[in-house]
Structures are given as structure tokens and as C-alpha cells.
């Protein structure tokens, strides 16, 4: 029997999966470089913590409306064309952002508009994008492939912030946005290569396969207790826990009087924790599948409370590491389970439901935390988020049936 390391090596050596993994890593590094630069730029040009939250809301809110339609597109149309079309529009939006920055014309509302456009294209293309990994491997390899893809994502979340801190200090924020634009190119090339010339057709385009409506797929998913509980838990976790990363910008400036490099260090710690969490879920995926993501969400809430109480930058790095680890374990295990439960026929719709709960929680959490921060300060906002995360996750865990249907 091959060892776990051998299985990992075999997956990465597969030309289609290995190329996709590498190109996604480069693309996500660029994305995280922009994710670090953008809140800092918004805070610099607007001096408003509320607009920092509103910018994040604009990027994630379209997921509420469009994720299900994105899932429907993924199950009905050529997924390759969907990914290339909407990611291409997103690429042009990033290029426009670079031009506005270079000309000194970037304003808060133009940045928010571009974020909204990115959010729309992401919502429509992400379900098709998420189905790429299961299409490249055997069914029994899906949990490992999804976890390995999460390792890639969290590796980029470690490297991206570290590079962003160096690049912003040396060349300014515009270089981070430029790097993100360039990172689209290897991803586009890999998508062209890994699929057949006809593209990757969804199962419902295959002859004799009946189409299913969005509503019927959603109803079927929510009838399954295990799926429903994971979606609710994912929403609650991202609602109260994801703003920690977004508003660490405000925390560094207001509480610690820090600079760009301090924000880069905390972001790197968060990403490093996510990387370790992804590695954990990869090597012991079956054990995590038996755990409720709500347990990790509850502990994450306690970490956020500790962040609000802490006044040491060194301790903050440890807490951000823990937060990244917990958030990744919860979300990776939930996403992997959703991919397995869906089957190929409805994988796009199930993925869109997961994206709906994930991005919906991020959008609402960013907006509400931005409002609390602007009125009461970032410390009170973090105390509130942490306490609510602990309280609601505790209720959900107590209500969970021991004989929950799968």
C-alpha cells in the first residue's frame, strides 16, 4: 500500500492535476497580494473603517444572489468557457484598477465598484472552478485532492502576504495589484491545456441526462441533515470569524500603531496557520470528516476574544496562526464533504450552496463588523464577534442529533 506522501506525490505528478495545482498556486499568490494591499489602500484613501468593511461586502455580497445561478451554469454548460469568460472579465477589472492607481485617480467608490464586479464574476465562475479538481482525479481521490488543493490555497495565503509586505514597502501597493493581474496568465494557459478541445462539459449536457432545476437541487440538499448542518455552520463561522482577517488592518493601526510590515506579519501568521490546518486535514481527512466544523468555529470564537484582549504583537502572531488553522480545518472538511455528497451530476449546485453560505457569511460579517468598528472601535467589534461565535456554535452543537442522517 502506498504511503500518504506517495499518494500526494502521485497526485502532483499527474500532469493535468499537477499543472492546475501549480497555476492555481501562482494565481492565488497574486490574489492574496491584492487582498493585503486593498484594505490598506482603502483605509489610506478614505480613512474610514466602515468603507473597508463595505469594500469587502461588495466583493462577497453578489454570492448571495448569484452563487446558485453559478451552480446552475456549472451543471448545464461548458465549465471551461464559464471559467475563462468570467475570470477574463475579472482580469480586465484588475488591470483597470492598476491603471487608476498609476494615474492617481483611484477613489473609494471606484474601488468598491471594481470589488463588486470581481464579486459578480467570482460568484458566477467559482462553482465551475470548484468542479475542476474532482474532474481531474478518481472519485476515491477526491478528499485527498480537495485537501491538497486547500494546502495550495493556504500556501499562497502564507507566501502572498509575506511578498505583499516586501513589495508594498519597496514599490507601493500598485505593484501588488499588478502582480495579481500577471498571475492570471498561467492560470488561463493551464485551463486551456488541461481540458479537451471541446472543453469540460457538465453532466447535464451529456446525451440522455435530464436537467434538474435549481430549486429542486436546493430542496434535495437541505433535506439531508448533514448537508444542512454544515451549510449553517459554515455561514455562522464565516459571519463572525472571517472579519478577524479583514479588520486586522484596523487593529494594527488603531491598537498597535503598526505599519505595513506589521500587517504583513500578522497576515503571514494567519496564512501559515491555514497551511498547517490544510496539511492536517489532508493527512487525517477521514477523522476530520467525523467531526463537526462547529467545534472548530466555537474554538475560533474564543481565539477572537483573546485577540480583542491582547496588547502584544508577538502574542497576536500566535493568535492569528491559531485562527488561520481553525478556520481552514472547518471550511476544508465541510467543502470536502459537500463534494463527496453531491456526486458529479449536482456537484456544481452543491458547490454553489457551499459558496453561498461561505461568501454570504463573509459579506454580512464584513458589513456588520465595519459598522461596529466605526461606532465602537475594533476591540469591541472583535469581543462581540467572538462571543456570538461561541454562543451560537454552542447552541448548534447541543441541538445536533447524535443520529444525524448523512
pLDDT digit string, tens, across residues 84-139? 899 999 999 999 999 998 888 889 999 999 999 998 998 888 777 777 776 776 66
What pLDDT shows up at residue 220?
60
Residue 102 lies in a domain: yes
Q: Name 78's bridge partners.
A: 201
Q: Residue 383 corresponds to which cell in the numbers above?
A: 469581543
What pLDDT shows up at residue 112?
94
Q: Is the pLDDT of residue 35 over 70?
A: yes
Indicate the range of 260-269, 279-288, 382-391 predicted with least confidence.
279-288
Instruction: Give DSSP secondary structure letters for 152-202.
Output: HHHHHHHHHHHHHHHHHHHH-HHHHHHHHHHHHHHHHHHHHHHS-TT--B-
Q: Is the pLDDT of residue 197 over 60?
A: no
Per the model's pLDDT, the better-predicted residue between 341 and 205 turns out to be 341
Look-up: residue for cell 469594500?
Answer: 55
Computed over every residue of the chain, the mean pLDDT equals 78
Residues in the chain: 406
Residue 405 lies in a domain: no
Residue 406 lies in a domain: no
What pLDDT shows up at residue 270?
83
Question: How far, rounded to the nearest angstrom, does the alpha carbon of residue 351 sit from its chain's CA centroid?
Answer: 13
Total count of domains within the chain:
1
Q: Is 166 exposed, middle or buried (0-12, 13-18, 19+ CB in 10 A)?
A: middle
CA dist list (Å): 5 to 25, 40, 48: 19, 39, 47
Residue 349 lies in a domain: yes
The span from the CA of 57 to the CA of 117, in Å, is: 12
By the 8 A CB rule, do 102 and 178 touch?
A: no
Residue 155 lies in a domain: yes
Residue 207 lies in a domain: no
CATH number of domain containing 184: 1.20.1250.20
pLDDT digit string, tens, across residues 7-18? 666 666 677 777
The span from the CA of 176 to the CA of 22, in Å, is: 20
Q: Is the pLDDT of residue 46 over 70?
A: yes
Average pLDDT score over residue span 359-374:
87
What pLDDT shows up at residue 227?
67
Instruction: Give DSSP secondary structure letters for 274-307.
Output: HHHHHHHHHHTHHHHHTS-HHHHHHHHHHHHHHH
Average pLDDT score over residue span 179-199:
78
Look-up: residue for cell 480613512?
Answer: 47
DSSP secondary structure letter of residue 209: P
Residue 142 lies in a domain: yes
The span from the CA of 319 to the CA of 334, in Å, is: 23
Residue 392 lies in a domain: yes
pLDDT digit string, tens, across residues 210-244? 455 555 555 565 555 566 777 788 888 889 988 99
Which residues lie closer than 8 Å to 209 by C-beta, 6 or more apart?
A: 203, 345
Confidence band of 317 (pLDDT split at 50, 70, 90): very high
Q: Is 224 exposed, middle or buried (0-12, 13-18, 19+ CB in 10 A)?
A: middle
pLDDT above 70 coverage of the chain, percent: 73
CA dist list (Å): 351 to 134, 213, 337, 347, 366: 11, 15, 10, 6, 22
Rounded to two decimals, the pTM is 0.70
Per the model's pLDDT, the better-predicted residue between 292 and 313 turns out to be 313
The span from the CA of 134 to the CA of 187, in Å, is: 17
What pLDDT shows up at residue 224?
58
Confidence band of 405 (pLDDT split at 50, 70, 90): very low
By the 8 A CB rule, do 382 and 244 touch?
A: yes
The span from the CA of 11 to the CA of 136, in Å, is: 10
Highest mean pLDDT among 62-71, 122-131, 245-254: 245-254
Indicate the range of 53-62, 178-187, 279-288 predicted with least confidence.
279-288
The span from the CA of 98 to the CA of 181, in Å, is: 9
Q: What is the domain range of residue 389?
A: 4-195+214-399
Amino acid at each position: 500500500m502506498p504511503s500518504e506522501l506517495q499518494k500526494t506525490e502521485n497526485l502532483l505528478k499527474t500532469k493535468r492535476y499537477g499543472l492546475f495545482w501549480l497555476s492555481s498556486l501562482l494565481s492565488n499568490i497574486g490574489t492574496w497580494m491584492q487582498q493585503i494591499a486593498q484594505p490598506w489602500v482603502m483605509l489610506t484613501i478614505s480613512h474610514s473603517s466602515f468603507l473597508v468593511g463595505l469594500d469587502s461586502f461588495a466583493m462577497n455580497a453578489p454570492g448571495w444572489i448569484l452563487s446558485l445561478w453559478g451552480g446552475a451554469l456549472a451543471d448545464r454548460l461548458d465549465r471551461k468557457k464559464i471559467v475563462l469568460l468570467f475570470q477574463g472579465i475579472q482580469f480586465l477589472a484588475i488591470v483597470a484598477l492598476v491603471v487608476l492607481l498609476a494615474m492617481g485617480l483611484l477613489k473609494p467608490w471606484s474601488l468598491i465598484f471594481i470589488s463588486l464586479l470581481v464579486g459578480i464574476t467570482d460568484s458566477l465562475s467559482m462553482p465551475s472552478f470548484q468542479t475542476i479538481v474532482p474532474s481531474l482525479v478518481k472519485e476515491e481521490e477526491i478528499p485527498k485532492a480537495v485537501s491538497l488543493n486547500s494546502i495550495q490555497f493556504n500556501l499562497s495565503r502564507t507566501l502572498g502576504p509575506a511578498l505583499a509586505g516586501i513589495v508594498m514597502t519597496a514599490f507601493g501597493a500598485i505593484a501588488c495589484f499588478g502582480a495579481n493581474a500577471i498571475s492570471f496568465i498561467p492560470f488561463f494557459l493551464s485551463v486551456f491545456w488541461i481540458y479537451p478541445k471541446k472543453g469540460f462539459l457538465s453532466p447535464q449536457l451529456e446525451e440522455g441526462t435530464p436537467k434538474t432545476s435549481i430549486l429542486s437541487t436546493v430542496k434535495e440538499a437541505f433535506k439531508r441533515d448533514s448537508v444542512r448542518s454544515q451549510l449553517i455552520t459554515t455561514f455562522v463561522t464565516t459571519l463572525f470569524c472571517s472579519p478577524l482577517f479583514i479588520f486586522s488592518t484596523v487593529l494594527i493601526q488603531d491598537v498597535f500603531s503598526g505599519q505595513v510590515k506589521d500587517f504583513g506579519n500578522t497576515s503571514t501568521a494567519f496564512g501559515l496557520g491555514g497551511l498547517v490546518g490544510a496539511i492536517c486535514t489532508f493527512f487525517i481527512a477521514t477523522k476530520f470528516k467525523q467531526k463537526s466544523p462547529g467545534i472548530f468555529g466555537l474554538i475560533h470564537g474564543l481565539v477572537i476574544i483573546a485577540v480583542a484582549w491582547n496588547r502584544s504583537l508577538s502574542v497576536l502572531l500566535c493568535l492569528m496562526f491559531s485562527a488561520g488553522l481553525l478556520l481552514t480545518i472547518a471550511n476544508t472538511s465541510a467543502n470536502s464533504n459537500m463534494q463527496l455528497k453531491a456526486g458529479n451530476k449536482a456537484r456544481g449546485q452543491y458547490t454553489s450552496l457551499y459558496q453561498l453560505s461561505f461568501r454570504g457569511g463573509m459579506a454580512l460579517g464584513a458589513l456588520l463588523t465595519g459598522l461596529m468598528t466605526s461606532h465602537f472601535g475594533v476591540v469591541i467589534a472583535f469581543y462581540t464577534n467572538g462571543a456570538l461565535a461561541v454562543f451560537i456554535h454552542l447552541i448548534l452543537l447541543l441541538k445536533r442529533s447524535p443520529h444525524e442522517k448523512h
